[in-house]
Amino acid sequence: MNWYGCWTLYSRESRRFLNVKMQTIVAPALTAIMYLIVFRYAMGDREVPGLEVAYFDFLIPGLVMMAMMQNAFANTSSSIMVGKLMNMQIFLMMAPLTAFEVTLAFLAAAVTRALIVAVVLLLVLAPFTNISIEHLWMIMFYGITGSIIMGGMGMIGGMWSKTFDDMALLNNFIIMPLTFLSGVFYSVKQLPEAWQTANHFNPFFYLIDGFRHGFLNVGDTDPSQAIIVVSIATLSTVLACWYLWRAGWRLKD
Amino acid sequence: MSYALEVKKLTKIYKNGKQALQGVDLSVPEGSFFALLGPNGAGKSSLINILADTVHPSSGEVTLLGKNLFTERKWCKQRLGVVPQEIAFDPFFAPRDILKIMSGMFGVKPDMKWIDELLERLELTEHAKKNARQLSGGMRRRLLVAQALVHKPKIVILDEPTAGVDVELRKRLWGFMRELNDNGTTILLTTHYLEEAEELCDQVAIIDQGKLLTSQSMASLLDSVGSSSLVLEYHENMTMTDTIQNKLAAFSPRIEKNTVSLCLKKNDSGQNNFNDAYQTAIALLGEAKSVSVQNEDLEDVFLRLTHNGNTV
Ligand SMILES: Nc1ncnc2c1ncn2[C@@H]1O[C@H](COP(=O)(O)OP(=O)(O)OP(=O)(O)O)[C@@H](O)[C@H]1O
Ligand SMILES: [Mg+2]
């Protein structure tokens, strides 16, 4: 293992977002606050049907999780995309870094960014809400696996995209619908039967629900089922990243 | 002799079907200053990129300092530095940081003394803290050279390191490479500045259309391969015919407008075949307006070899 090389790549990927804090940390916090203001006044003190939780409190963990996932995705995808446009990924290929080390470094940096965003958001939102940490392990487990999955999707998306248009396409037609339809803004119990079933095939649904469960102590999914689904999704994403990077998929002629 | 690099039957077929390398064999002696020459599209960069692990090989084998490059990547990469032909840089960082990062990725804690020396030698010190985006083209190329050297590799491969670098800096860059070579680093480079290659490199290989045409020491190439040529100038433009081609085949004739050039070869006692060439040519083409003998330099050899596709 080239640990020092892996560490260097990790710190490079982390410095990349730390150097532009306004874009990468302050902006997502601002977006989340705006969502909350809007919903606070639109929904008032209404409760989520069947859950006995104020809609506003219900929303917060979902928004935090969504921000984590989007930031994890952005970190890896933009880095690989810029790397491609600048012909910079050759430095990673020339260095004695295995696909495993590259994957590890990229995903660790994505998780780091997601965690920083999550902490900042929670600190900013804390004064406006009554929620508290009920199950820390659930919050950590779903927060981290969700970031790994999205960081991994960002890596794959970055490799797949030839242009920024491709990337926008991926974002708008796959990532956004999956996150929006995964229960950030509603409980699945509010949905028609068919949609409820469909949601059980969306791994993001388990992630957001599990993460929220850690704060609210109520959820829509069976926790043991969720852990299995999420673990499998995480492992598959990591394996896919490792395999595709090793093959130089869409990177090497 | 021990070799820094041994390339065997290397082929590369790109996805679009282009066969860029057609079974190239190449041996680079340890400690040599090796010029890999060839016209545009010859396959030089394809070869180098395969060595650098940025392009997949189609078939063949490469040994680096005795180890199989394709199976012992990590060991080999730690001993190899490559300057790619295409400019690449990290737009997020300044040169000094880029060098630290590059060193770290090779698993080497940045040696600041060496990094400062590299910046100094490549004349980037005053730009060391600028963002790489603000560098000029020539500066970016020099940064690439520094990046390839930061982990102190035993073998350095440079794909047109002097393209776009101004005359004076080019001279100093060559001087720096000469120095590295004197200190035991094996250097392989491509360049289209043939005079510079002639002056500095001790080994030379020429490839064209994915095939190796020759590989030997610079001295022997310049010496053995018709070190001079006979140039006959006529009043009117000449055209190459089959008869000329056949009758003068021994002299690898070349015709350019109104001049006919013939290669002269030396026999064992060091005498060249001037008379033979002259008599045959005059008999075939008539008296010339002027006759001269030109000593061939690397450029002539290069042009003759790559025009005919002949193997020496
Ligand atoms: N990615 C690619 N896909 C398809 N064909 C390619 C690719 N890269 C190079 N080629 C083709 O392979 C051949 C060899 O190209 P290469 O870049 O190795 O030449 P070169 O000797 O480095 O030339 P130059 O002196 O111009 O740099 C050319 O015909 C080129 O068009
Ligand atoms: Mg080239």
Query: Ligand 1: distance of its center to the CA of A236 in Å?
Result: 36
Question: What share of chain B has pLDDT > 70, as a percent?
Answer: 96
The span from the CA of A196 to the CA of B180, in Å, is 68
Mean model confidence pLDDT for chain B: 89
Best of B12, B13, B45 to mutate for ligand 1, by most ligand atoms within 8 A of CB? Answer: B45
pLDDT score at A52: 81
The span from the CA of B90 to the CA of B132, in Å, is 7
Distances (CA, A) of A169 to A24, A66, A161, B82: 21, 19, 9, 35
Residue B57 CB-half CA count within 13 A: 21
Alpha carbon A52 to its chain's center = 27
Cα three-residue angle B243-B248-B253, rounded to 5 degrees:
105
pLDDT score at B104: 97
Per-residue pLDDT of A10-54, as tens digits, reads 999 999 999 888 888 888 888 888 887 888 888 877 888 777 888
The span from the CA of B161 to the CA of B191, in Å, is 7
B311 pLDDT more than 50: no
pLDDT score at B312: 44
- Other beta carbons within 10 Å of B180: 19
Best of B10, B36, B44 to mutate for ligand 1, by most ligand atoms within 8 A of CB? Answer: B44
* DSSP class per residue in B203-217: EEEEEETTEEEEEEE
- Closest Cβ–Cβ partner in B91, B92, B104 for A4: B104
- Other beta carbons within 10 Å of B264: 21
pTM recorded for the entire structure = 0.87
Per-residue pLDDT of A163-209, as tens digits, reads 989 999 998 988 888 877 888 888 877 788 888 888 888 888 899 99
B140 pLDDT more than 50: yes
User: Is the separation of the CB atoms in A72 and A114 below 8 Å?
Assistant: yes
3 state SS for B129-157: CCCHHHCCHHHHHHHHHHHHHCCCCCEEE
Query: Ligand 1: distance of its center to the CA of A162 in Å?
Result: 20
**Closest to B217 in 3D by CA, of B43, B63, B47, B35:** B35
User: Is the separation of the CB atoms in B248 and B262 below 8 Å?
Assistant: yes
